[in-house]
Structure 1
């Protein structure tokens, strides 16, 4: 019985991730997710408690690993910017779904929490110096600004710029926060 429950829960998560990424938080209903998963919407609530919780768990499951904990910090700036610029459409869609869904109180709080856990804390743990906390937060803001310019605003100049140019220039800015020259 437990395997069947786990499979049902995983099936709900899979279709929810696809629906939320494709349609966004507001346009996706629990009834639709239930229909896609071939279960009653009440069962969706039973497993996840709310649409917000399902949204966050489904999108967290769909996110790829990021390179914050890999390799030397001396090259992290360029590596991370390259990761962002070469991210597949799924990463972009997840980011946009989170941004668009963050106007809901529960989602906004969880997005802030994921920001802390997935970006600020792992980076902070790798930095040294008395201002490591501030630098980790500035680095997160710097990367967030690039994502916003590319994926929300659709800055045509940045989108048309060769990725390697962006990797080198933006990577240098990020690297200065990671490993500042005294």
Structure 2
């Protein structure tokens, strides 16, 4: 029996599953869906590719299980409405997990289930928290426009890598982009 075989014997099914999940999360965030193989995940998890499939079904299902993007609503809900724009941008840029998950989802969005997850995240992470704070008959469209503006910032920073924005002082981005977002959230009458 090799050292690899001994390691495999000693791990429980749940431990193996968790190691696979951890490896997949890391690789999907670093490389994206298409550039991550089941073999790569298994190798990083010191596992067998067949176990990856046995535990998760497919690479796409494993991706969907590991790639979640959430923003803690609490810091968004405890500020006055006129500070919501800045607070939302501040929370978004302060959370390193958001970047990795967002990029992995965008890169994999040509797959139907991943596109659906991206749409769900857009609705629940961006539109929903904003809409919950808005009033008036146009609250839904303002929340959706605000989410689109947020998506534009993420795209410029993380997909395109706009050098000027990437090098900008994060506080300046929060203030300026927060003001832009605020104009959509609370337009003047």
Q: TM-score, normalised by structure 1?
A: 0.84
Within the candidate set 49, 55, 75, 2:83 is matched to: 75
1:101 aligns with 2:96: no
Bigger CA drift: 157-166 or 98-107? 157-166
Which residue in 1 is equivalent to 2:34?
A: 26
Equivalences for residues 13-162 of structure 1 within 5 A: 13-60=21-68, 63=69, 65-67=71-73, 69-72=76-79, 73-88=81-96, 90-162=97-169
Partner of 2:175: 168
Measure, in 1, the Cα distance between the counterparts of 2:76 and 2:59.
Answer: 31
User: What CA deviation, in whole Å up to 9, does each residue of 1:64-100 have, x standing for no partner?
Assistant: 6444743223312101212233343x43232222211
| Matched residues, number | 177
For 2:94 and 2:37, the matched residues in 1 are separated by 31
Deviations 1:96-136 (A, max 9, x none): 22211112222112211222122222322222111111111
Q: Secondary structure at the match of 1:126?
A: coil
Question: Is there any run of 5+ residues in structure 2 with no aligned partner, and where?
Answer: 1-10
Does the CA-based 8 Å contact 2:76-2:87 persist in structure 1? no
Does structure 1 conserve the Cα–Cα contact (< 8 Å) formed by 2:70 and 2:125? no
Query: What's the CA shift for 1:180?
Result: 2.7
Query: Once superposed, what is the RMSD of the aligned Cα atoms?
Result: 2.3
With the length of structure 2 as denominator, give the TM-score of the two structures: 0.81
Higher mean alpha-carbon deviation, 38-47 vs 163-172, is at 38-47
C-alpha separation in 1, matches of 2:93 and 2:186: 21
Q: Which whole-Å CA distance do the structure 2 matches of 1:144 and 1:134 have between them?
A: 15
Q: Deviations over 1:29-85 (max 9, x none)?
A: 11221232233323322332221121122121xx56444743223312101212233
**Which gives a bigger RCO, structure 1 or 2 (Cα 8 Å, sep 6+)?**
1
